[in-house]
Amino acid sequence: MKHFLFSLLCLVFLASAKAQKSDPPLDNLMPRELIFKDKDKNRITLSKDGETIFYQKKADGSDSTLYFISGKSPLAERSKRFDGALSNWMPVHQNGLVVVVRQDTNQYIGFTSTPAASVRKLDVFPFRQVQLLNISARFPNKIVVNLEARNPEQSGIYILDLLSSNLKRIGQMEDFGELFFDENFTIIAGWRPNELGGNSLLRRVEG
């Protein structure tokens, strides 16, 4: 029995030594910068149909140009230039694109598309900050936004119609870090910080 155990240990040792010998030394690994050499692409975002990749080339928030490439011609970089710094954007359905453009101390929400040459400014009350929260395939011309208005009484979460600029208030962000919606833009869950230093995920229950 002792001879069997000794032979088994020898086999394990030899197999381990062979595996370690076959592993490439760290000096022979591919340099990370060769894999991630495109350092000029920031805030990379994929379109809803998966055909277009959007990105910016400046990470300091001063870039007024949005760049994009198509999966059909990935080597042909195209761009759209706006009349102010591009604070945020979100691809929406049917090749649409919602943008938040900053001009000095003012901002506006615009609606455009990759083929379009112009941007339609949406008629929204003055705001300090805006978050683009959610879209739905069921309502392709609408988006959920969280607006911090200059008039605090107007602040809240709204459904924004991208064609008519109509706003419908559906709630408040309160202290939630993120909210989750169903296809009808109903809030169904959200997470917020808890007293333990982590986050609590809360689910909406009817009744």
pTM listed for this prediction = 0.76
Rounded distance, CA 42 to CA 60, Å?
A: 10
Write out the E strands in 16-126: 42-46, 52-56, 65-70, 73-81, 85-91, 96-103, 106-113, 120-121
Write the pLDDT tens digit of every residue in 135-154: 999 999 999 999 999 999 99
Phi/psi of residue 206, each to 5°? -75, 145
When pLDDT is cut at 50, 70 and 90, the band that residue 178 belongs to is: very high
Of 71-80, 90-99, 106-115, least confident by mean pLDDT is 71-80
Torsion angle (degrees, nearest 10) of CA 41, 42, 45, 46? 10
Of 20-24, 63-67, 102-106, 201-205, least confident by mean pLDDT is 20-24
When pLDDT is cut at 50, 70 and 90, the band that residue 112 belongs to is: very high
Cβ(95)–Cβ(78) below 8 Å = no
Whether the CA torsion 113, 116, 117, 118 is positive or negative: it is negative
Q: Token pair of 188, please?
A: 């169904």
**Do strands 187-193 and 199-203 pair parallel, antiparallel, or not at all (unpaired)?**
antiparallel
Cβ(177)–Cβ(163) below 8 Å = no
Torsion angle (degrees, nearest 10) of CA 40, 44, 50, 51? -30
Start-end of H helices in the chain = 2-22, 32-35
Rounded distance, CA 45 to CA 70, Å?
A: 12
